[in-house]
């Protein structure tokens, strides 16, 4: 097998595999090294996202949502389905099948595009050489004109709640419960904690989410965060802000085990609560263990991220880094777009990424999705803005679908009308936000959206109406602004 390449990518997640495919499409001789082994020790591409992240979590969110709807939301349509039951094993097996399908799909795409796959560990050496250790221990030295580091991230562990068997788990363990825990604790009310908490709450767990920060979803627009807090409460997600976990103890209870969690509540009082399972979802950290030789020359920043410029160049010429190991949001689409940008730069094209236009989504029900600035950021930066808001309760399509929680909010510059941010909570928010992302990429004003024809009846009309509301002209709500 060849050992010389134009591009070697270390890591085959959504950053690395996309970079490898794009580089090959550009006519570059490309290799990708990936170390992942599945439960049966079979090599797998796709990284965190496909194996234990975005895709499996969405598979469980969709299954649990259907179960919940069948139990609670069909009656109103006149549909009666009798006793609704959930076979958790079947749900988890379906999720595993989707993961199998998608990860082997990447293997197929590598073959189709002529990307050489190396199954094992990659380590960046000096002088653009890469040490490859195959799963059988064989070591080969590879070299390339350009190297892309895409080694991703791993869950943060906190000393008060170390991972313990299948009782104190991280996101990986939480995707594989074989029965519904009666009492489920979740540490961290971030994206992962809320999504996984929702899955098991829908299936009947009593879920308590312990969040150290005093403010719920502090990074979101606070209008959205407040609405989400109210809705999650109705869904019996018991979210306790200002609750810092300080300890945990796994105890025997008959033949079973349970975990007692100690935390300080918002008043600083020590509290204890016992759960059947505990999910630790306190964030993720960049993963560079074993991937950089001492003399590789690649610099890390103070938080352990690989230090890069706006175009993902590291401190070593010809070595790039993308995705979760570099600054910016830890999101699959951000990793992939950085992969495309870097492959294009290596191929000699001018390429750049607009970091101001990366959408974020939380896939609860309703979904939360946003892009651009929040109201609190605009206020802090002293930017004068106009806000237009439209509730799904006033959307005919949302009413027909019996899915009327939430709203769309568009923020536009007061002087230029240019869209600065869009914040959505509601059914299909993850898909609706793309409209605002495209508008912002094109530098649109709120009026541009207001003058666009939207199909009726669609939930998208809420985006149209929110844009109209920016100047007090929404049709289906009373929103006249004083002139």
Tokens 């630790």 belong to 280
> Could you tell which of ligand FAD, ligand AMP, none binds residue 439, using a CB distance below 5 to 8 A set by kind?
none
Active-site choice (135, 236, 349, 456) = 456
Task: Please say whether the beta carbons of 300 and 307 come within 8 A.
Answer: yes
DSSP designation for 412: E
**332 near ligand AMP (CB under 6 A):** no
Strands (E), 328-418: 360-362, 367-372, 385-391, 407-413
DSSP string for residues in 255-311: TEEEEEEEEE-TTS-EEEEEESEEEE-S-EEE--TTTB-TTS-PPB-TTSPBP--TT
Tokens of 145: 């004109």
12 touching ligand FAD, by CB under 6 A:
yes
Q: Is there a cis peptide before residue 478, judged by omega within 30 degrees of 0?
A: no
Q: Select the residue interacting with ligand AMP from 204, 229, 242, 283 (CB under 6 A).
A: 283
From the list 30, 59, 152, 424, which residue makes contact with ligand FAD (rule: CB under 6 A)?
A: 152
Question: Which of 348, 316, 346, 294 is closest to 127 using CA atoms?
Answer: 316
- Candidates 46-54, 79-87, 97-105, 213-221: pick the segment binding ligand FAD (CB under 6 A): 46-54
Residue 173 binding partner per list ligand AMP, ligand FAD, none, with a CB distance cut-off of 5 to 8 Å that depends on partner kind: none
Residue 158 touches which of ligand FAD, ligand AMP, none (Cβ within 5-8 Å per kind): ligand AMP
User: Edge-to-edge strands of the sheet including 270-275?
Assistant: 244-253, 256-264, 270-275
Among 47, 366, 391, 426, binds ligand FAD (CB under 6 A): 47
According to DSSP, the residues that pair with 422 across neighbouring strands are 371, 410
10 makes contact with ligand AMP (CB under 6 A) = no
Q: Which of 94, 285, 333, 476 binds ligand FAD (CB under 6 A)?
A: 333
Residue 444 to residue 340: CA distance in whole angstroms: 25
CA 390 – CA 386 distance, rounded (Å): 14
456 classed as catalytic: yes
Binding flag, residue 49, ligand FAD (CB under 6 A): yes
- The closest of 99, 104, 106 to 172, measured between CA atoms, is 99
C-alpha 460 chain-centroid distance: 23
Using the 8-state DSSP alphabet, how is residue 115 labeled? P
Residue 271 binds to ligand AMP (criterion: CB under 6 A): no
Cβ 146 to ligand AMP shortest distance, Å: 32
Burial-class residue 80 by CB neighbours within 10 Å (0-12, 13-18, 19+). Answer: exposed
Beta bridge partners of 418: 445
- Write the interaction track for ligand FAD spanning residues 268-287; mark x where CB under 6 A is met and - where it is not: -------------------x
d(CA 405, CA 367): 10
CB within 8 Å of 111: residues ≥ 6 apart: none
Stretch that binds ligand AMP, among 39-47, 168-176, 188-196, 368-376 (CB under 6 A): 188-196
Counting contacts by CB under 6 A, is residue 222 touching ligand AMP?
A: no
Of 195, 240, 196, 198, give the one whose Cα is nearest residue 216. Answer: 240
Residues 113-142 binding ligand FAD (CB under 6 A) are 121-122
Residue span binding ligand AMP (CB under 6 A) among the ranges 64-72, 164-172, 281-289, 306-314: 281-289
Check binding of 306 to ligand FAD (CB under 6 A): no
Nearest residue to ligand AMP by CB is 190
Q: Which of residues 399-438 bind ligand AMP (CB under 6 A)?
A: none
* Sites of contact with ligand AMP (CB under 6 A): 158, 160, 187-192, 210-213, 244-245, 281-283
Residues that bind ligand FAD (CB under 6 A): 10-16, 33-36, 47-49, 53-54, 57, 121-122, 150-153, 171, 192, 287, 290-291, 323-324, 330-333, 335, 363
Catalytic residues: 456
């Amino acid at each position: 097998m060849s050992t010389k390449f134009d591009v070697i990518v270390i890591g085959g997640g959504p950053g690395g595999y996309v970079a490898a495919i794009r580089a090959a499409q550009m006519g570059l001789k490309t290799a990708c090294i990936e170390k992942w082994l599945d439960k049966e020790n079979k090599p797998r591409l796709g990284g965190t996202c496909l194996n234990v992240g975005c895709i499996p979590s969405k598979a469980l969110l969709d299954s649990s949502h259907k179960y919940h709807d069948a139990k609670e939301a069909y009656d109103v349509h006149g549909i009666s389905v009798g006793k609704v039951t959930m076979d958790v094993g079947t749900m988890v097996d379906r999720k595993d099948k989707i993961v199998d399908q998608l990860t082997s799909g990447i293997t197929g795409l590598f073959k189709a595009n002529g990307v050489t796959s190396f199954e094992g560990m990659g380590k960046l050496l000096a002088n653009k050489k890469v040490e490859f250790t195959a799963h059988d221990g064989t070591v080969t030295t590879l070299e390339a004109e350009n190297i892309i580091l895409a080694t991703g991230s791993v869950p943060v562990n906190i000393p008060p709640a170390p991972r313990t068997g299948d009782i104190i788990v991280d996101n990986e363990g939480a995707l594989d419960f074989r029965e519904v825990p009666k009492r489920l604790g979740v540490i961290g009310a971030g994206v992962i904690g809320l999504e996984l908490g929702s899955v098991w709450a829908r299936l009947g767990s009593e879920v308590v989410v312990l969040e150290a920060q005093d403010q719920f979803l502090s990074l979101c627009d606070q209008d959205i965060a407040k609405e989400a807090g109210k809705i999650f409460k109705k869904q019996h997600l018991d979210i306790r802000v200002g609750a810092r976990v300080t300890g945990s103890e796994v105890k025997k209870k008959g033949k079973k085990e349970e975990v007692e969690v100690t935390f300080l509540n918002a008043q600083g009082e020590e509290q204890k609560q016992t759960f059947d399972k505990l999910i630790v979802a306190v964030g993720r950290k960049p993963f560079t263990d074993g991937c950089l030789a001492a003399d590789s020359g690649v610099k890390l920043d103070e938080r352990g991220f690989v230090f890069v410029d706006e175009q993902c160049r590291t401190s070593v010429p010809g070595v790039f880094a993308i995705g979760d190991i570099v600054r910016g949001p830890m999101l699959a689409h951000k990793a992939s777009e950085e992969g495309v940008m870097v492959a294009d730069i290596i191929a000699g094209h001018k390429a750049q990424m607009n970091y101001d236009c990366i959408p974020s989504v939380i896939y609860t029900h309703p979904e939360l999705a946003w892009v651009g600035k929040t109201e609190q950021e605009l206020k802090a930066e002293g930017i004068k803005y106009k806000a237009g808001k439209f509730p799904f309760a006033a959307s005919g399509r949302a009413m027909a679908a019996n899915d009327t929680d939430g709203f769309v909010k568009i923020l536009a510059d007061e002087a230029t009308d240019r869209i600065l941010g869009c914040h959505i909570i509601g059914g299909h928010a993850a898909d609706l936000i793309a409209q605002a992302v495209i508008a912002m990429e094109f530098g649109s004003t709120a009026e541009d959206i207001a003058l666009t024809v939207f199909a009726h009846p669609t939930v998208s009309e809420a985006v149209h109406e929110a844009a109209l509301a920016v100047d007090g002209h929404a049709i289906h709500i009373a929103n006249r602004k004083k002139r």
